[in-house]
Structure 1
Amino acid sequence: MGIRPGYWFEAVCHRDSDDRCPELLYRTMLETPERAIRLVRMQIRTMHPFALSPAEVDRALAWADGGGRVQALAALHRGEPAGFSIVLRDGRRPEWRVLPVGRLILTVLHP
């Protein structure tokens, strides 16, 4: 038995800026920071571009393909949380969060 690092991934959507109970879109545990950031990038890239203003499309793609992705990956490797959010044209705000956590690994020994 042992503890290994894992990365808790959540995607939520806030209805507005005062939303204290966002809708859960997706949740999973991932093994590496790279997989977590890849999942954020994939979800950002599959959003319908008409749901975003041109400025938000540019910001989202700049994060997914550039410095934001690199900074988030570095934070996770340091054991710090990382995240990103955008604002849709209708005021909703999707948010991606990744939190480093310990995972309990059970080892089964065979005689």
Structure 2
Amino acid sequence: MANAVSQTLTAPGFWFERIRYTSSRDTIVFSADYQATTHPAPALRRIRIEVRALVSGLPTPEMFRAFEWVDGDGYISAGAALRRGEPCSFSISTHDERIDWTVRPVTLLTLASSDPFDGCPREKRHSLAGYLTLLPLAP
């Protein structure tokens, strides 16, 4: 019975993260962005869009590497790795920062109710409105 309950509360998914570092050699995080999704395509599409937006400001070798990943075999290989249950990543360095994108398979914990605020006092609902309805569980 416990196994049947856990199967209904979890779902396979993918965890996307983008981390921007203050320099190409530094480990100080400038910004980070995270997203959970139930399919790898939205995460890979997001990486492709973000890389395309940055490509004109990249040094020439990084620009060619970025185009190869975005329009060549890079994102296709990444999608194949995710379907095999393996993580994928891509990094670029600009003149003054480094950006790392990572997508990895995870098990997502779904909310038990279709109403994400079910059981939550009405005065607390507004402060919780921005939270994810899918939460990644540790592997």
Q: Separation in 2 of the partners of 1:65 and 1:35?
A: 16
TM-score by length of 2: 0.68
| C-alpha RMSD of the superposition | 1.9
Correspondence 1:70 to 2:70? no
Q: Separation in 2 of the partners of 1:70 and 1:39?
A: 14
The aligned counterpart of 2:30 is 23
Specify the structure having the higher radius of gyration (Cα).
2
Matched length: 107
CA contact (8 A) 1:81 1:98 kept: yes
Correspondence 1:98 to 2:108? no
CA contact (8 A) 2:55 2:63 kept: no
Aligned partner letter, 1:37: L
Classify the secondary structure of the residue corresponding to 2:109: strand
Runs of 5+ unmatched residues, structure 1: none
Q: If each structure's helix is expressed as a fraction of its own residues, which one has the higher value?
A: 2
Correspondence 1:39 to 2:46? yes
CA contact (8 A) 2:82 2:104 kept: yes
Aligned partner letter, 1:13: R
Correspondence 1:7 to 2:10? no
Classify the secondary structure of the residue corresponding to 2:26: coil
CA contact (8 A) 1:10 1:24 kept: no
Classify the secondary structure of the residue corresponding to 2:17: strand
Classify the secondary structure of the residue corresponding to 2:62: helix
